[in-house]
């Protein structure tokens, strides 16, 4: 199984790999400016105490100007550089049920200690609060430096269960990690957010834009819905009770994708409740990756219905002279005498000839004439996509020289390129591909939603049609 995801958890922040000198220069200049502002403020106080009012005003104003300049120019710059990188590795905290009970008991004991003045209660409350601090520090140390690596099969089909593997690596020399869970990222519950959008202010407001007296560029604050996220890859947690130092542990993960399409995973979480289960602390690990799930290639009823008809017409199309015996049949006037099978003739009492298949012409071209939106129902469209994928997979296994044609497809004769196209295909708004399809020596298997009477006659003799709309040779009803 090829490697699919590997975050750079153990590498230093990308922030420190770029313009380090510029950042340090900005920081030192800001520090020098703050030192000068602090010195000006001290001398301003000295001047005020000595009765020099103007010197005190000038020095105080200078201190304020230098502090404001540093705050405006340097602080936002450093925040932009550091904050974004820190967010990726930020720890998320979630109080557990045990933690709520523990805090409630500590609060009650604290109230009792204040009311009674009992030193023993103060000691107990202090020890309980110290345990919370120790729990936070220990869990942070357990999650630190852990690395994740996720592997999946190279080809994934819808409707099939595949096995992936998650590896967790502890690169530290001495410190082990305990009670580690690999969890999917939390979903963002903010379905709408505020956004500034450009607009035009016109006056009078009720008149058409062409008749307004004043038109000025403007901005308006509106609530917009966030776009839906792509389906995620992982949904359930994976638990590792103990990760020793300098050790890599693995766990198998069963994945099942019901539908074809593109599945994305932007991150995973490493969480722990160690040591006292007061908090569930989660560290977010960036994992930006997409996986293409091919259409299902299982043998459906439509496949069993169409395949014998296609195979029969295809074999009839490719029969002729060759090396492999196709069949023995009755003699026809146009047949040559050298193909007469004398043994079969003697047994039957009538002339029999041998018919051969031409191996060099066993070429098939699958044409997926992607219908326009609304031309067929969504269910029928999905069945047509699955049938095209199943037929392509079947004839590839039969050692047939196969090629593919579809609107917007440029993947050549590779099966998995065609399956990747079918995995994300949507109804086509352009012209039918049959209009620009060139005749060749290939036998054409055409899946189309066009009416049977509108198909060019030049393709009738060398093609088999699966009509998605009206009844014909085969109909995907």
Condensed to tens digits (0 to 9), the pLDDT of residues 334-356 reads 676 767 787 778 888 888 887 76
For residues 38-64, give the mean pLDDT: 82
Query: What was the pLDDT predicted at 326?
Result: 64
Condensed to tens digits (0 to 9), the pLDDT of residues 6-17 reads 444 334 444 444
Q: Is the pLDDT assigned to residue 446 strictly greater than 70?
A: yes
Considering only CA atoms, which of 426, 310, 438, 435 is closest in space to residue 371?
Answer: 426
Which string of DSSP letters, residue by residue, matches 216-246?
Answer: EEEEEEEEEEPPPPPPPS--S-EEEEEE-TT
Q: Is the pLDDT assigned to residue 170 strictly greater than 90?
A: yes
Query: What was the pLDDT predicted at 242?
Result: 92
Higher per-residue pLDDT: 167 or 228: 167
Determine if the peptide bond prior to 240 is cis (ω within 30°). Answer: no
Measured distance CA(96)–CA(275) in Å, rounded: 13
Query: What was the pLDDT predicted at 6?
Result: 41
Query: What was the pLDDT predicted at 244?
Result: 92
Of 36-45, 273-282, 338-347, 442-451, the range with the highest mean pLDDT is: 273-282
Residue 177 contacts residue 143 (beta carbons within 8 Å): yes
Q: Is the pLDDT assigned to residue 360 strictly greater than 50?
A: no
Residue 433 contacts residue 453 (beta carbons within 8 Å): no
Of 153-162, 211-220, 335-344, the range with the highest mean pLDDT is: 153-162
Query: What was the pLDDT predicted at 412?
Result: 84
CA 369 to chain centre: 28
Q: Where are the domains of the chain?
A: 14-88, 192-225, 362-475
pLDDT tier, 21 (very low <50, low <70, confident <90, very high otherwise): low
Tokens matching residue 240 = 């590792």
Considering only CA atoms, which of 138, 469, 159 is closest in space to residue 296?
Answer: 159
Q: What is the pTM assigned to this prediction?
A: 0.61
Output the average pLDDT for the chain.
77
For residues 271-278, give the mean pLDDT: 88
Q: Is the pLDDT assigned to residue 197 strictly greater than 80?
A: no
Query: What was the pLDDT predicted at 321?
Result: 42
Helices (H) and strands (E) in the chain, counts: 9, 20
- What does the angle CA 301 – CA 394 – CA 365 come to, to the nearest 5 degrees? 105
Neighbour tally for 361: CB within 10 Å: 16
Query: What was the pLDDT predicted at 303?
Result: 65
Q: Which of 201-215, 278-292, 356-370 has the lowest mean pLDDT?
A: 356-370
Condensed to tens digits (0 to 9), the pLDDT of residues 311-336 reads 666 666 655 444 466 677 888 876 76
Considering only CA atoms, which of 408, 391, 409 is closest in space to residue 400?
Answer: 391
Tokens matching residue 172 = 């530290």
For residues 418-442, give the mean pLDDT: 82
Cα torsion 134, 139, 140, 141: sign: positive
Residue with tokens 């905290």: 93
Residue with tokens 């550091």: 82
């Amino acid at each position: 199984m090829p490697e699919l995801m590997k975050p750079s958890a153990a590498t230093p922040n990308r922030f420190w790999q770029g313009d380090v000198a510029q950042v340090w220069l900005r920081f030192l200049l800001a520090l020098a400016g703050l030192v000068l502002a602090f010195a000006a403020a001290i001398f301003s106080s000295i001047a005020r105490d000595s009765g020099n009012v103007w010197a005190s005003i000038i020095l105080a104003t200078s201190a304020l100007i230098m502090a404001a300049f540093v705050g405006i120019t340097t602080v936002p710059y450093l925040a932009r550089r550091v904050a974004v990188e820190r967010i990726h590795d930020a720890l998320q905290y979630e109080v557990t049920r045990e933690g709520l009970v523990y805090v409630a008991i500590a609060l009650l004991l604290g109230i009792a200690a204040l009311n009674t003045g009992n030193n023993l209660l103060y000691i107990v409350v202090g020890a309980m609060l110290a345990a919370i601090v120790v729990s936070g520090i220990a869990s942070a140390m357990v999650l630190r430096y852990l690395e994740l690596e996720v592997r999946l099969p190279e080809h994934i089909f819808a409707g099939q269960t595949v096995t992936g593997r998650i590896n967790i690596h502890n690169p530290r020399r001495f410190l082990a990690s305990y009670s580690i869970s690999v969890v999917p990222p939390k979903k963002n519950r903010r379905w709408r957010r505020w956004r500034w959008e450009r607009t035009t202010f016109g006056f009078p407001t009720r008149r058409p834009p062409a008749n307004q007296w004043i038109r000025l560029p403007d901005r308006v604050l509106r609530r917009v819905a966030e776009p839906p996220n792509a389906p995620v890859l992982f949904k359930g947690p994976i638990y590792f009770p103990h990760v020793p130092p300098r050790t890599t542990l693995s766990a198998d993960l069963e994945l099942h994708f019901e539908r074809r399409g593109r599945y994305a995973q932007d991150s995973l979480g490493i969480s722990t409740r160690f040591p006292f289960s007061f908090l569930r602390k989660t560290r977010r690990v960036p994992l930006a990756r997409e996986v293409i799930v091919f259409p299902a290639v299982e043998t459906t009823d439509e496949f069993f219905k169409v395949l014998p008809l296609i195979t029969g017409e295809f074999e009839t199309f490719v029969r002729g002279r060759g090396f492999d015996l196709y069949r023995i049949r009755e003699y026809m006037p146009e047949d040559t005498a050298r193909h007469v099978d004398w043994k079969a003739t003697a047994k039957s009492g009538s002339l029999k000839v041998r018919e051969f298949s031409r191996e060099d012409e066993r070429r098939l071209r699958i044409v997926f004439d992607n219908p326009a939106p609304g031309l067929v129902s969504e269910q029928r469209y999905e069945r047509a996509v699955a049938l095209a994928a199943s037929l392509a997979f079947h004839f590839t296994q039969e050692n047939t020289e196969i090629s593919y044609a579809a609107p917007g497809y440029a993947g050549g004769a590779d099966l998995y390129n065609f399956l990747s196209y079918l995995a994300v295909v949507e109804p086509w708004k352009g012209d039918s591909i049959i209009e620009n399809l060139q005749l060749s020596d290939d036998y054409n298997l055409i899946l189309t939603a066009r009416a049977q009477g509108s198909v060019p006659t030049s393709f009738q003799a060398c093609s088999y049609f699966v009509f998605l709309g009206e009844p014909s040779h085969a109909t995907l009803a």
